[in-house]
A and B are shown apart, each in its own frame.
Chain A
Amino acid sequence: MREITLSQAVNEALAEEMRRDPTTFIIGEDVAEAGTPFKILSGLVEEFGTGRVVDTPIGEPGFMGLAVGAAMTGTRPIVDLMFGDFIFLIMDQLCNQAAKTHYMSGGKLTAPLVLRTNLGATRRSGAQHSQSLHALVAHIPGLKVAMPSSAYEAKGLLKTAIRDNNPVVIFEDKLMYQDKAEVPEEEYLIPFGVANVKRAGSDITLVGTSSMVQVAEKAAEILAAEGISAEVIDPRTIVPLDMDTINESVRKTSRCIVIDEGHQSFGVTSEIAARIMEQSFYHLDGPVIRMGAMDVPIPFSPALEDITVPTPEGVAANARKLMAGEMFNG
């Protein structure tokens, strides 16, 4: 099968959906001629024109709010937020407006929009361009949250997001834009709320999101060489979250580590671990271990930045402890 980059996969998904549905449009900073700083959208303005690939001034709350209003009145905006860190600027429009419109109107109004943004540290971008803030969004009822782990997922999930009638936020890992994966030529969609078992195993379950799926897979390789069989699960969307697949795996392996690049405290790993504890407690042979980014602003210095995020070696080390029945304290 052909291989394309995550960036190309996103570009293809947008082009296909924009051809299919004339009410879709892209809006954000430097999305047209420049095709974003990551060059993800190159070529789209040539095909769809500046009326549907709309460059905005640097006013995130403004264009996010505009997108909410546009979505409520018959279009399907696809908002490009250059860095996930800027989500703090648009929180009111996203969380007070878009997320609640359908509910508050008793089901009468909808806001079918997609917010595409990114996450991920270790790009030496400093504390305001390196955060993984998906947990904040996942906390708010009314927002769906997708976390593609490869080019294949990025395309299939984005197409589903654009057709969804709810506000959907997609976090792409900015370090993965040039990573290639097999992506079929034929059209496909990936449904929300269906986890993917990336690797089968029997001793321990590793649940990873976004690029942490790769970290989990690499850890599984390390462990395999030591005779430990790890199962790797990619939930693909954290809202909705496919607990059935995760529970099934954990009940089989009886051990689990959850890995996510958001800060560890009050985050996605905590949520998934808590649900496993509630739903599969009597099947567990050890505590569910959370591995997230350290609870520090992401430091610039490479010497510090690299130790703030989970690594395959770190996951493997925790897996060994779990297998050995060692205690985890704090």
Chain B
Amino acid sequence: MSDAKTNTEEYLRMYSQMVRIRTFEDNANQLYLSAKMPGLTHMYSGQEAVAVGICEALKKTDKITSTHRGHGHCVAKGANFKEMFCELLGKEEGYCRGKGGSMHIADQSNGNLGANAIVGGSMGIATGSAFTAKMLGKDDVTVCFFGDGATAQGILYEVMNMAALWNLPVIYACENNGYSEYTKTAEIAAGSITARAEAFGIEAFTVDGQDVLAVNELTEKLVARSRKGEGPFFIELMTYRYHGHHVGDINREYYRSKDEEKLWKTERDPITKFATWLTKEGIASDADLAAITAEISADAAAAVEYALAAKYPDISEVDQHVFVA
């Protein structure tokens, strides 16, 4: 693994952020399976090193835009379990007062401009956010998360063209998890994904999305360069989703083999890989890591319990927020 962060505290924070995402998702999945969560949701499990490696290179006022598979981005950018679970359950204390739900969580306080249920729907928003930073002379950088499937949307090419023309501080982060819904990436993407960005003169990189340090190191560099006006940049992060496309996608062998899933989970798991590295380098012991995990599990359990008991918004809220008051 490459070296990015240099002190124990930062390493352990990255570790615990990844564990927090995994734990959040395991709980969300349980809520679905036990029929306590309204609707469906898309699990981020397996992709943790992407969100954490990137968001740990950002400051609070930097912005991100997220996707339908957005819980990981939200946690990594600093969100709390309690408000997130409340949102997933449609409760008043959720980040969006229950109006958004899993696919629309936004956490304005930490610079998360929101998940998006339209594939490709946030590409314009991210680019506009970078435009604001440039226009108002702020040094904020925006990261636009999207999947491999989203590269088929034409808007990506429209905004990359503008971002490149105007040197906007935006990083397009393509999480290539090998699938868009029930279709392999190779069947929906012609040619090379990074070459598309390069055609606009945008520097593009491919990185192992299961290696949190590699992701972080690259992002740190690109963020620093973006702040100096050298953006935009494009990163393709090779990763894998552990669950089905959504929590209800359980019988999926017709498009993805169990062997393939097992390989990624056992040999390329971003959390296990990083744990091994941390112990080998003597940064933490197995017991230290187990303690982190236990504390996070307890936090999540408490947040779930809280959210289940929390109240729904009053029905008078239904027509609030259609327009700005």
Which residues of A does B touch, CB under 8 Å?
A: 29-30, 33-34, 37, 55-59, 61-62, 85-86, 89, 123-129, 294-297, 299-304, 307-308
Contacts and interface: CB of A to CB of B under 8 A. Distances in A.
Contacts of B102: 126, 300
Contact of B182 (A33, A57, A124): A33
A303 B187 CA distance: 41
A300 B90 contact: yes
Contacts of A297: 99, 322
Given A58-B119, A296-B319, A304-B313, 15 more contacts: A30-B183, A33-B182, A33-B255, A56-B152, A56-B188, A57-B188, A58-B152, A294-B318, A297-B99, A299-B99, A300-B39, A300-B101, A300-B102, A301-B38, A307-B315
Interface of B: 38-40, 90-91, 96-104, 116-121, 149-150, 152-154, 180-183, 187-189, 254-255, 312-313, 315, 317-319, 322
B318 A304 contact: yes
B188 A124 contact: no
A300 B313 contact: no
B99 A58 contact: no
B319 A301 contact: no
B313 A128 contact: no
Contact of A62 (B98, B150, B154, B254): B154
A41 to B, nearest CB: 12
Nearest to A35: B182
Contacts of B98: 299-301, 303-304
A124 B118 contact: no
A301 B104 contact: no
Contact of B152 (A57, A85, A307): A57
A301 B117 contact: no
A34 B101 contact: no
A86 B120 CA distance: 11
Contacts of A300: 38-39, 90, 96, 98-102, 104
B103 to A, nearest CB: 5
A296 B100 contact: no
A61 B120 CA distance: 12
A294 B254 contact: no
Contacts of A304: 90, 98-99, 312-313, 315, 317-318
A310 B317 CA distance: 18
A124 B248 CA distance: 14
A126 B317 contact: no
Contacts of A127: 99-100, 104, 117
B39 A125 contact: yes
B38 to A, nearest CB: 4
Given A30-B181, A123-B39, A294 B153 contact: no
B104 A126 contact: yes
B150 A58 contact: yes
A62 B155 CA distance: 11
B187 A55 contact: yes
A308 B318 contact: yes
Contacts of A123: 39
B318 A296 contact: yes
A302 B118 contact: no
8 contacts: A33-B255, A34-B181, A62-B152, A124-B39, A127-B99, A128-B103, A299-B318, A301-B101
Nearest to A29: B181
Contacts of B153: 58-59
A129 B103 CA distance: 10
B274 to A, nearest CB: 31
A324 to B, nearest CB: 26
B150 to A, nearest CB: 7
Given A34-B181, A34-B255, A58 B90 contact: no
A86 B118 contact: yes
Contacts of B118: 85-86, 89, 128
Nearest to B98: A301
Nearest to A83: B117
Contact of B103 (A56, A58, A126, A303): A126
A89 B40 CA distance: 23
B181 to A, nearest CB: 5
B182 A30 contact: yes
The 10 closest A-B pairs by CB, nearest first: A300-B101, A301-B90, A124-B39, A57-B152, A301-B98, A303-B312, A124-B38, A34-B182, A128-B117, A57-B188
Contacts of A308: 318
A50 to B, nearest CB: 10
Contact of B313 (A30, A126, A303): A303
Given A58-B150, A58-B180, A126-B117, A296 B39 contact: no
Contacts of B313: 301, 303-304
Contacts of B90: 124, 300-304
Contacts of B180: 57-58
A55 B38 contact: no
Find the residue from A59, A86, A302 having the highest chain B CB count within 10 A. Answer: A59
A59 B180 CA distance: 12
A302 B36 CA distance: 12
A58 B183 CA distance: 10
